[in-house]
Amino acid sequence: MFTRVRVLDDTDVGQVTEFLQQDPVGNLFLLSRIQANGLDRGRLGCPVVGVVHSGELQGMLHLGANVVPVASDESTIEVLSSKVGPWRTSSSMMGRSGPVMALHRILSQRYPRAWGRPREVRACQPLLELHEPSRVGADPRVKAATMDHFQAYFQAAVAMYTEEVGVSPIESSGGYMSHMRTLVQKGHCFDIVDDDGTVRWKSDIGVDWRTHCQIQGVWLDPAWRGKGLADAAMTAVAQLCRRRYESVSLYVNDFNTRALAMYRTVGFRQVGEMATVLY
């Protein structure tokens, strides 16, 4: 039996898609990226390495700003880790908890200076999928965000990111603003805009692939928290997403008990576990 580790390219898109769609909810980030850009390193912006055994793909590793491993066993992760060097340019590892934590452990032991000093490890992030009707009514104020209030929406997005990740997403290239502008223009953002033009609630369809979408960037103005408003707002977002997608999912930190309770009320149920390592 012959095993090969190599950089994947556009000729592998069909096999890679077939491999990833065995777990579309867990692999939605990669499916979305490959659908949009293929596997050409120039278009994708980073290499994707695959382990191919007797012609069959056994595992893969996205080596961009986000390192994303996909494999069913640790031996495959060990093989994939051989393509990661001692110089880290990535800002995170993310994906299914098992592969992420295995890769993190291997690289931390091999290259402790580069990979062994994360800013935060979120080893258990419940992956939730919408399965039941919400127990509350939808907030009618939730609408698809438009460019009319983009600056206010962007300010809310920055506040959400900074609160969630611990650092500001704003950098000199303007990449985050460009990313958010694209999401709004695609109709992938939802908000509640107050009478004074302030965005009080926001959430995004962060990634999508065929009939699947994943909600990200959920945020409620701190001044509105503790009043039971999030349940109805999230219900509205879930209903708007369901008009376009059969599967609506998201993942959340296990320590965020308030959010977990809200998602249960809206009808989300746990279908797996993700992990994120932040540098």
Question: If residue 86 lies in a helix (H) or strand (E), which one and from where to where?
Answer: none
Q: Specify whether the CB–CB gap between 249 and 126 falls below 8 A.
A: no
Read off the pLDDT band of 109 (50, 70, 90).
very high
- Enter the tokens of residue 72: 């069913």
* Separation between Cα atoms, residue 80 and residue 60, nearest integer Å: 7
CATH topology of domain 3-117: Aminopeptidase (3.40.630)
- Tell which CATH classification among 3.40.50.720, 3.40.630.30, 3.40.50.2300, 2.160.10.10 matches the domain 130-272: 3.40.630.30
Q: Sort strands 92-96 and 66-71 into parallel, antiparallel or unpaired.
A: parallel
pLDDT of residue 229: 93
Name the CA radius of gyration of the chain, rounded: 19
All CATH 3.40.630.30 domain ranges of the chain, comma separated, are 130-272
- Enter the tokens of residue 130: 């919408």
Q: Sort strands 189-193 and 199-209 into parallel, antiparallel or unpaired.
A: antiparallel
* Separation between Cα atoms, residue 197 and residue 152, nearest integer Å: 7
Name residue, tokens 């393509």. 83
Task: State mean pLDDT over 81-102.
Answer: 97
In what order do the strands lie in the sheet containing 143-144? 3-7, 48-53, 56-63, 66-71, 92-96, 268-278, 120-130, 247-251, 212-220, 199-209, 189-193, 143-144
Of 179, 185, 175, 184, which Cα lies nearest the Cα of 153? 184
Of 209, 204, 203, which Cα lies nearest the Cα of 247? 209
pLDDT of residue 273: 98
Report the chain's mean pLDDT, rounded to a whole number. Answer: 96
Question: If residue 142 lies in a helix (H) or strand (E), which one and from where to where?
Answer: none
Read off the pLDDT band of 34 (50, 70, 90).
very high
Read off the pLDDT band of 1 (50, 70, 90).
low
The answer on pLDDT for 172 being more than 90 is no
What are 207-263's pLDDT values in tens digits? 999 999 999 999 999 999 988 899 999 999 999 999 999 999 999 999 999 999 999
Specify the pTM.
0.94
Q: How many residues does the chain have?
A: 279
